[in-house]
């Protein structure tokens, strides 16, 4: 019969069969440095004839151990304060907004400048059109005043009124043209009749022989061509 001391083994054997826990993590949890692989050691010698007893096997490695205990491998260090990154992102967003608002302002300013130019041009055209309408209507009055002056019928207060009307017309750029002897120009003259040239006179081209009705210009624009009699070729 085997004694209890032989069944359980000697005290030295009981101490050798105790639980051993090894740290197999590849990175130090405090310094994040990669650990060196441990050198292999010789297995502890067992006494001859001793039967190995089944002890608790090695604990299965958890997901945290397989992945390096949740630590990030390499030299990357997670910053403790990420406020700087958030600040840079915010600055970039604000710069983008400022750029967009500046472009919108420039576009609106260009549209306003174009609108103002168009309004000023339309205003000038409307003003010029109104002046042309009034001056065209007053041409008949000026013809009557010219005829009265030719017959020496302008005198007294009537003469002062005629001069004032002509002064107002000249103030707005209205001017009369057409004189005898000037070259005939179909762009500014309207020939109503043709007269033979005087004997012994050689003309290089048609000439205004008589002005039947003066023409009028408003600036560079012809309101009415001069109606004339033409002589020459």
Which tens digits make up the pLDDT trace of 25-72? 776 777 767 777 666 554 444 444 445 454 454 555 444 444 444 444
**Given this model, what pLDDT does residue 20 score?**
59
**Given this model, what pLDDT does residue 120 score?**
93
Residue 74 has pLDDT above 50, yes or no: no
217's CB contacts (< 8 A; 6+ apart) are: 173, 174, 175, 177, 223
Distance CA 196, CA 232 (A): 6
Which of the given ranges, 143-152, 195-204, 210-219, has the highest pLDDT on average?
Answer: 210-219
Domains recognised in the chain with CATH numbers: 174-233 (2.30.22.10)
In percent, the amount of the chain with pLDDT more than 70 equals: 65
158-167 confidence digits (pLDDT tens) = 888 989 999 9
Its pTM surpasses 0.75: no
Residue 113 has pLDDT above 90, yes or no: yes
Mean residue pLDDT of the chain comes to 76
35's CB contacts (< 8 A; 6+ apart) are: 25, 26, 27, 28
Helix axes 156-171, 83-150, angle to 10 degrees: 150
Terminal CA-to-CA distance of the chain, rounded, Å?
165
Residue 192 has pLDDT above 70, yes or no: yes
182's CB contacts (< 8 A; 6+ apart) are: 207, 208
Per 3-state DSSP, the chain is made up of helix, strand and coil in percentages (nearest 5) of 40, 15, 40
């Amino acid at each position: 019969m085997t004694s209890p001391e032989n069944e359980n083994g000697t005290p030295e054997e009981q101490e050798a069969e105790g639980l051993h826990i090894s740290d197999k993590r590849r990175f130090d949890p405090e310094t994040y440095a990669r650990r060196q692989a441990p050198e292999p050691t010789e297995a502890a010698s067992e006494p001859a004839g001793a039967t190995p007893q089944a002890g608790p096997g090695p604990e299965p490695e958890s997901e945290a151990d397989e992945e390096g205990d949740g630590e990030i491998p390499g030299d990357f260090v997670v910053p403790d304060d990420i406020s700087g990154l958030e600040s840079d992102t915010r600055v970039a967003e604000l710069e983008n907004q400022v750029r967009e608002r500046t472009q919108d302002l420039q576009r609106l300013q260009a549209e306003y400048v174009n609108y103002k130019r168009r309004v000023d041009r339309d205003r000038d055209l409307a003003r010029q059109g109104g002046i042309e309408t009034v001056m065209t209507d007053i041409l008949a009055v000026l013809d009557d005043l010219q005829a009265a002056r030719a017959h020496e019928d302008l005198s007294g207060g009537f003469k002062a009124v005629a001069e004032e009307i002509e002064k107002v017309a000249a103030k707005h750029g209205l001017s009369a043209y057409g004189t005898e002897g000037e070259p005939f120009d179909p762009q500014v003259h309207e020939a109503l009749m043709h007269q033979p040239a005087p004997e012994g006179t050689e003309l290089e081209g048609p000439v205004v022989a008589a002005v039947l009705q003066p023409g009028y210009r408003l600036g560079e624009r012809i309101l009415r061509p001069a109606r004339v009699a033409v002589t020459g070729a």
